[in-house]
């Protein structure tokens, strides 16, 4: 250990790290909400997951600490909390798997409809299934109209 | 018998199934899955018999004692949900033709993940099993192999991944405050450390995260799309059975960690909104499966309301409502295999298949809550529990539940009326084997009418024990103590804030 950080320096690490985590979470969530393009939504998801992972890592961070590995008889003065690191490792693996699955589904969806815009997709799917779209929300025929329709079909 | 096999066996089976299909005759592969599920059911029954009501099997993974190690907590409530998942999957599995390798692999994965979710006593383990269940259900949701199915599954995935990121954030917050992930350890620390705004926001994040699968109010937009596009048996499994498991987790959180906070009111409000929106949306829907999907949102809202009632009253009402819905909804979904789609396809169904129509009417009446069908007892327990709280919010919830029941009756009776109308062009006649799964579920429902007294007694005992967090703690920590003494290495390790060590010194 050549240099030992002062309390102020450590404080800045925490502040920057937490701000980064919260910022990533916010950017990711906003991106998922405002964009209509599936790839961008998935990118927002990736940012969100990165933010959560950074948050977990920061929770386990200790000032002037080393990696939590026991080497022989040497017992280091301070070690970072190993549990969040194990959690983040698992979370990253799960995240990558889910993202790969998401992209596979994106490919399948694109092959079926030729678009990745969520609005166009909703329209095309609604056309396919025969429901109506009002302001982008699929709405089925109201019940009275349906009953009338069936009655009309019955009387030739 | 070790409860860990309940999780390990289906997971192992899921990975071995493709190999078995490839290298052994096809007949062996076809029956491997049902065989594994049967063994699992046997193990669960054996554990149910051997574990008394007030105790539990607490298994520490990898030999690390709690709270350092990961704990599996096998008690009767968890076993009940495990048996529900395994039995439901078995019925739906055998109900359609065998030999769909990919779907069967995912089904085993789903069962393994669900059992793990029910038994897990560790926050992060809950997250991992939640993701296993989620990934398996994305695949199953897309197994209809239509474009709309892929799009619905993708939307489900995006919402669910957002939810699980929030769940992880909530878990991280709890870990940052308390420094532990073990539920029993958290239960001892929570009154001092999580009874503030940070603890509540962690609960809110976890509730939204878990709520995606439990079809809670703001994050259930995937429900109608997925249930329309997925095959009927998958909709039945996801909507009827798997969705309850995450509510079981929420129940554990409420009982163990958030017993004396405002957290139950949060769940209550989401449940009430879910009931209202679900039933109103079902009133407007004109697709039979869409109606069932919206009605399942409403029913899960009821379960959420029940679980938010503090004490054993809420537990028993919620568990009975969940069990009832888990029998009725899969049966209704299986009936839509022949009659799914627009209501127009249903007109005149009674003249084609009287048995199918009768099943539909009985199931629907039970869902609405007509005595003597079990749905009535379930709703009665909910109303009784909510009345006993003497809290104005719960009384409002009762009013909403009653209004929702009227709406439910209206839209289901409309469908039943259509079934009895004359139609020049008769609807499709369901083949006999298509009615078998629905009939099996209905038979189980009939059995539960016969044994309603025994079931209520058993459920009461379980509910009283589950609602007492001291039992959970004392069942988890003996393992820790025993291993603590055995293992010389850990003697120097002091676990902070451990109340059980304090108790020991007091003695």
The string of pLDDT tens digits covering residues B21-49 is 888 888 888 888 889 999 999 999 988 88
pLDDT digits over B226-275, tens only?
888 888 888 889 988 889 999 999 999 998 888 888 888 999 999 999 99
* Chain A residues 117-156 with CB within 8 Å of chain B: 121, 125, 128-131, 139-143, 146, 149-150, 153-154
pLDDT digits over B400-457, tens only?
999 999 999 998 898 888 888 877 676 777 777 778 888 888 888 888 888 888 888 8
Q: Average of pLDDT values for B115-127? A: 90
Report the residue from B124, B286, B421 with minimal CB separation from A146: B286
Report the residue from B128, B147, B414 with minimal CB separation from A143: B414
For A145, what's the count of Cα atoms within 13 Å in the CB-facing half-sphere? 7
Least confident of A93-102, B222-231, B294-303, B347-356: B347-356
pLDDT of A6 strictly over 90: no
Report the residue from B131, B175, B424 with minimal CB separation from A59: B175
pLDDT of residue B334: 87
Helix (H), strand (E) at residue A25: helix A7-34
For residue B183, the 8-state DSSP code is H
pLDDT-based confidence at A88, cuts 50/70/90? Answer: very high
pLDDT digits over B319-334, tens only?
999 999 999 999 888 8
Q: Average of pLDDT values for A28-55? A: 93
Report the residue from B148, B162, B172 with minimal CB separation from A128: B148
Q: Which residues on A lie below 8 Å from B347 (Cβ)?
A: 150
Is there a contact between B135 and A101 if contact means CB atoms under 8 Å apart? yes
Task: Domain ranges for chain A, please list them.
Answer: 7-116
Higher pLDDT, B73 or B64: B73
pLDDT of residue B229: 86
pLDDT-based confidence at B1, cuts 50/70/90? Answer: low
Task: Domain ranges for chain B, please list them.
Answer: 262-450
Question: Quick one: which of B489, B477, B492, B482 has its CA closest to B189?
Answer: B477
The count of CB pairs under 8 A between chains A and B is 114
pLDDT digits over B388-415, tens only?
888 888 999 999 999 999 999 998 898 8
Rounded distance, CA B237 to CA A140, Å?
Answer: 25
**Mutant choice from B136, B286, B342, B418 vs A, greatest count of A C-beta within 10 A:** B286
Helix (H), strand (E) at residue B361: helix B354-368
B414 touches chain A (CB under 8 A): yes
* Chain B residues 281-310 with CB within 8 Å of chain A: 283-287, 290
pLDDT of residue B112: 93
Higher pLDDT, B3 or A117: A117
pLDDT-based confidence at B345, cuts 50/70/90? Answer: confident
Is there a contact between B175 and A112 if contact means CB atoms under 8 Å apart? no
pLDDT of A152 strictly over 70: no
Rounded distance, CA A20 to CA A23, Å?
Answer: 5
Give the mean pLDDT of chain B: 84
Q: Which residues on A lie below 8 Å from B168 (Cβ)?
A: 52, 56, 91
Is there a contact between A129 and B148 if contact means CB atoms under 8 Å apart? yes
B320: CB partners within 8 A, 6+ apart = B374, B377, B378, B381, B459
For residue B309, the 8-state DSSP code is S
Residue of chain A with shortest Cα separation from B180:
A83
Strands B71-74 and A137-139: unpaired
Pair of tokens at residue B461: 């005992």
Is there a contact between A142 and B228 if contact means CB atoms under 8 Å apart? no
* Chain B residues 142-201 with CB within 8 Å of chain A: 142, 146-148, 150-151, 153-154, 157-158, 161-162, 165, 168-169, 171-172, 175-176, 181
A138: CB partners within 8 A, 6+ apart = A122, A125, A126, A129, A131, A132
pLDDT digits over B188-202, tens only?
888 888 888 898 999
Is there a contact between B168 and A56 if contact means CB atoms under 8 Å apart? yes
Report the residue from A90, A112, A153 with minimal CB separation from B150: A112
Report the residue from A87, A105, A129 with minimal CB separation from B142: A105
For the segment(s) A7-116, the CATH number from 3.40.50, 1.10.287, 1.10.490, 1.10.3470 is 1.10.287
For residue B240, the 8-state DSSP code is I
Is there a contact between B135 and A41 if contact means CB atoms under 8 Å apart? no
Residue of chain A with shortest Cα separation from B69:
A83
Residue of chain B with shortest Cα separation from A28:
B162
A56 touches chain B (CB under 8 A): yes
pLDDT of residue B498: 43
Q: Which residues pair with A133 in a beta bridge?
A: A138
> How many C-beta neighbours within 10 Å does residue B154 have?
28
Is there a contact between B154 and A109 if contact means CB atoms under 8 Å apart? yes
Q: Which residues on A lie below 8 Å from B146 (Cβ)?
A: 112
% of chain B residues with pLDDT over 70: 92
Give the mean pLDDT of chain A: 82
Higher pLDDT, A149 or A16: A16
Q: Which residues pair with A71 in a beta bridge?
A: A74
pLDDT digits over B175-191, tens only?
999 888 888 888 888 88
> How many C-beta neighbours within 10 Å does residue B413 have?
14
């Amino acid at each position: 250990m050549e240099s030992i950080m002062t309390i102020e320096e450590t404080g800045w690490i925490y502040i920057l790290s937490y701000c980064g985590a919260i910022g990533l979470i916010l950017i990711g969530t906003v991106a998922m909400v405002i964009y209509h393009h599936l790839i961008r939504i998935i990118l927002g998801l990736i940012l969100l997951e990165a933010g959560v992972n950074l948050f977990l890592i920061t929770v386990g961070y200790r000032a002037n600490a080393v990696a939590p590995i026991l080497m022989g008889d040497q017992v280091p003065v301070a070690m970072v909390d190993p549990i969040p690191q194990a959690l983040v490792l698992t979370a990253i693996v799960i995240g990558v798997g889910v993202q790969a699955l998401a992209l596979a589904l994106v490919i399948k969806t694109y092959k079926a409809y030729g678009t990745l815009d969520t609005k166009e997709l909703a329209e095309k799917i609604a056309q396919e299934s025969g429901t109506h779209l009002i302001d982008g929300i699929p709405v089925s025929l109201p019940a009275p109209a349906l009953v009338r329709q069936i009655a009309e079909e019955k009387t030739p | 018998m070790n409860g860990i096999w309940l999780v390990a066996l289906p997971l192992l089976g899921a990975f071995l199934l493709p190999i078995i299909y490839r290298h052994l005759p096809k007949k062996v592969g076809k029956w491997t899955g049902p065989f594994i599920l049967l063994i699992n059911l046997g193990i669960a029954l054996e554990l149910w018999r051997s574990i008394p009501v007030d105790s539990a099997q607490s298994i520490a993974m990898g030999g690390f004692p709690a709270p350092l190690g990961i704990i599996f907590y096998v008690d009767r409530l968890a076993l009940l949900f495990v048996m529900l998942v395994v039995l439901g999957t078995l019925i739906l599995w055998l109900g359609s033709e065998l030999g769909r390798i990919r779907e069967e692999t995912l089904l085993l994965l789903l069962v393994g993940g669900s059992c793990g979710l029910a038994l897990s006593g560790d926050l992060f383990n809950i997250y991992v099993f939640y993701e296993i269940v989620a990934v398996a259900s994305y695949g199953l949701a897309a197994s209809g192999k239509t474009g709309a199915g892929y799009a619905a599954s993708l939307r489900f995935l995006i919402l669910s991944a957002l939810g699980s990121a929030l769940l992880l954030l909530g878990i991280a917050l709890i870990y940052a405050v308390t420094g532990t992930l073990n539920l029993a350890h958290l239960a001892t620390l929570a009154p001092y450390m999580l009874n503030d705004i940070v603890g509540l926001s962690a609960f809110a994040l976890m509730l939204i995260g878990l709520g995606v699968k439990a079809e809670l109010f703001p994050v259930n937009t995937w429900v109608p799309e997925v249930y329309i596009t997925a095959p009927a048996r998958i909709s039945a499994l996801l909507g009827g059975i798997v969705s309850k498991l995450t509510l079981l987790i929420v129940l554990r959180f409420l009982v163990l960690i958030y017993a004396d906070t405002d957290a139950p009111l949060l769940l209550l409000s989401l449940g009430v909104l879910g009931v209202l929106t679900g039933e109103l949306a079902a009133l407007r829907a004109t697709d039979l499966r869409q109606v069932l999907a919206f009605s399942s949102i409403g029913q899960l809202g009821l379960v959420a309301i029940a679980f938010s009632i503090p004490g054993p009253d809420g537990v028993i009402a919620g568990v009975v409502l969940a069990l009832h819905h888990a029998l009725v909804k899969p049966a209704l979904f299986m009936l839509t295999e022949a009659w799914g789609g627009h209501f127009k396809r249903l007109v005149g169904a009674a003249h084609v298949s009287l048995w199918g129509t009768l099943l539909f009417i009985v199931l629907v009446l039970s869902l609405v809550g007509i005595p003597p069908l079990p749905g009535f007892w379930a709703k009665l327990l909910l109303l009784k529990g909510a009345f006993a709280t003497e809290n104005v919010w719960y009384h409002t919830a009762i009013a909403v539940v009653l209004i929702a029941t009227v709406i439910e009756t209206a839209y289901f009776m409309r469908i039943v009326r259509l079934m009895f109308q004359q139609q020049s062009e008769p609807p499709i006649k369901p083949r006999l084997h298509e009615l078998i799964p629905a009939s099996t579920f209905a038979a189980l429902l009939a059995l539960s009418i016969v044994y309603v007294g025994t079931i209520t007694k058993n459920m009461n005992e379980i509910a009283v024990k589950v609602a007492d967090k001291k039992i959970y703690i004392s069942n988890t920590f003996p393992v820790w103590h025993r291993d603590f003494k055995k293992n010389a290495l850990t003697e120097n390790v002091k676990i902070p804030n451990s109340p059980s060590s304090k108790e020991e010194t007091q003695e």
